[in-house]
Amino acid sequence: MKVLVLGAGQLARMMALAGAPLNIKISAYDVRSGKIVHPLTQEVLGQGLENGIADADVITAEFEHIAPDILSVCQASGRFYPGEEAILTGGDRRKEKTLLDRAGVNNARYQVIENRDDYDAAIAKIGLPLILKSALDGYDGKGQWRLKTDRDIDAVWQDIGQFLKTSPQGSRQCVIAEEFVPFDREVSLIGARNAQGELEIYPLTENIHTNGILSVSISAGENDAVQSQAEAMFKSVADTLNYVGVLAIEFFDVDGTLMVNEIAPRVHNSGHWTQQGADVCQFENHLRAVCDLPLGSAKRIRPTAMINIVGNVTVPTSVMHQAHVHWYDKEPRPGRKIGHINLCADSASTLGDTLDSIAELLVDDEFPALKLAADNLR
C-alpha cells in the first residue's frame, strides 16, 4: 500500500515508522513547497499534488491548517481519509463549534465575532471573563485573547479588530468568543474509527500545558465514569463526521464532567504515549483505518508518560536507562517540538517515581511540569 500524507513533519515521520512492518509506504506532500518528500530523510521524491495523488492508494493528512483548494483536489480522488470535511472542521473553530452542537456534545458557550457589534453582543450574552480565539490558523494557544475586566474591552477589541482587518484569510477569518471554563484538568481521548463504523478507543490521557504548548501527557488509570463520558462524545462526533482514521478530542474536566475543548482530525501529540504504552499505537491504527485493514487493540498495556522535547534543550543519553527517546531530526527553535520521551512503569505510583528520577537528569526550566505530573500520580 502507498499512502500520501499531506504535511511532512514528525507525524508523517512516525506514520512511516509504524507503517513499515505492514509494507505501507509513506510519502509526504509538503504543502508549502509543493514537493513530495520521503518522511524520514526529507529526500525529494517528486513534485506536485496531482503526481502524489496519482502514485498513492490512499491520501491522509498530518495537520488541519491546509488550504481548501488542496483539500478539494484530494477529496475528488475518492481516496482521502478522514476527508475534506473533517480536516476543514478541525482547522476552523467556527465549523468545529457547529459540529459539536450537531453531535450534541457538551462544549463551552460561544458566539461568532465578525465585527464590534458581535463583540459587544458576546460580552453581554456570555459575560466576563471571555476567551477569544481566531477561527482559522489557531494552534498551541496562538491567536488567542483573554478579556478579563470591563476596563480592557476597548483595548482587546483594538487588537482583534486589527487582526480581522489584516488576516490573510480575509472574510473566511472570524473570532470565536467562548465562556471561560474553570477546569480542574485537561484530558484527551484518541481513537480510531474505520469505514464500517467500528471503533478502537485508547484510555484517556491527562495533559499539562506550559504557555499553550503540551509539556507532559500521562495515561495511567482513569475513572470509569469519566472514560465513558469521553467515549460517548467521541462516538457521537466521529459518527457525525462519518470519520475514518484516528481522531483526537481534547476535553476540560470540570468536577468530573467533561466538556469538549477542541478536536484534531489526525494523530495527536497527546497520543504519542501509545507507541510504548498501548497494544497498537495511534500511528499504526490510523494507517490501519485509512487503508481499510482491521483495527488493532487500543488497550493500554502499562501506565505511560510522554514528555515533549521543545526547543534547544539538553537531553542526556542517561535518560535512556529508563525511557524511550524519539527524535524528529529537526533543528531546534524556540517553541518547536523536536522530539519526545516515553516512559513506562508497572503502576501509576512507580510511574511517578520514574518521572521524578528522569526530572533529576533534566533542567527544570527546559522541562516544565515534570514534578507536577509526578505528584498527580501519587
Q: Answer whether 130's CB lies under 8 Å from 160's CB.
A: no
Among 92, 96, 186, 284, binds ligand AMP (CB under 6 A): 186
Among 262, 284, 345, 351, binds ligand AMP (CB under 6 A): 262
Among 8, 100, 108, 123, binds ligand AMP (CB under 6 A): 108
- Cβ burial of 192 (10 Å; 0-12, 13-18, 19+) is buried
Q: Choose between 45 and 226: whose C-beta lies nearer to ligand AMP.
A: 226
Q: Give min distance, CB of 141 to ligand AMP, in A.
A: 4
Distance CA 376, CA 367 (A): 16
Distance CA 220, CA 121 (A): 43
Among 127, 197, 212, 335, binds ligand AMP (CB under 6 A): 212
Strand blocks (E) in 237-347? 245-254, 257-264, 304-310, 324-327, 337-344
Q: Give min distance, CB of 110 to ligand AMP, in A.
A: 8
Residue 181 binds ligand AMP (CB under 6 A): yes
DSSP-derived letter for residue 263 is E
Q: CB 119: neighbour CB atoms within 10 A?
A: 22
Strand blocks (E) in 88-147? 110-113, 130-134, 144-147
Q: Choose between 136 and 319: whose C-beta lies nearer to ligand AMP.
A: 136
User: Who contacts 170 (Cβ-Cβ below 8 Å, separation ≥6)?
Assistant: none
Q: Give min distance, CB of 142 to ligand AMP, in A.
A: 8
Task: Consult the annotation and say whether 231 binds a ligand.
Answer: no
Distance CA 266, CA 337 (A): 17
Task: Consult the annotation and say whether 178 binds a ligand.
Answer: yes
Segment (H or E) for 34 = none
Q: Choose between 70 and 131: whose C-beta lies nearer to ligand AMP.
A: 131
Of 174-182, 188-196, 275-283, 287-295, which part binds ligand AMP (CB under 6 A)?
A: 174-182
Which residues within the stretch 121-150 sit at the binding site for ligand AMP (CB under 6 A)?
131, 133, 138, 141
Q: Choose between 110 and 157: whose C-beta lies nearer to ligand AMP.
A: 110
**C-alpha neighbours within 13 Å on the C-beta side of residue 366:** 19
| Residues engaged in binding ligand AMP (CB under 6 A) | 108, 131, 133, 138, 141, 178, 180-181, 186, 209, 212, 261-262
Binding residues for ATP, by number, are: 93, 133, 138-144, 178-181, 186, 209, 261-262
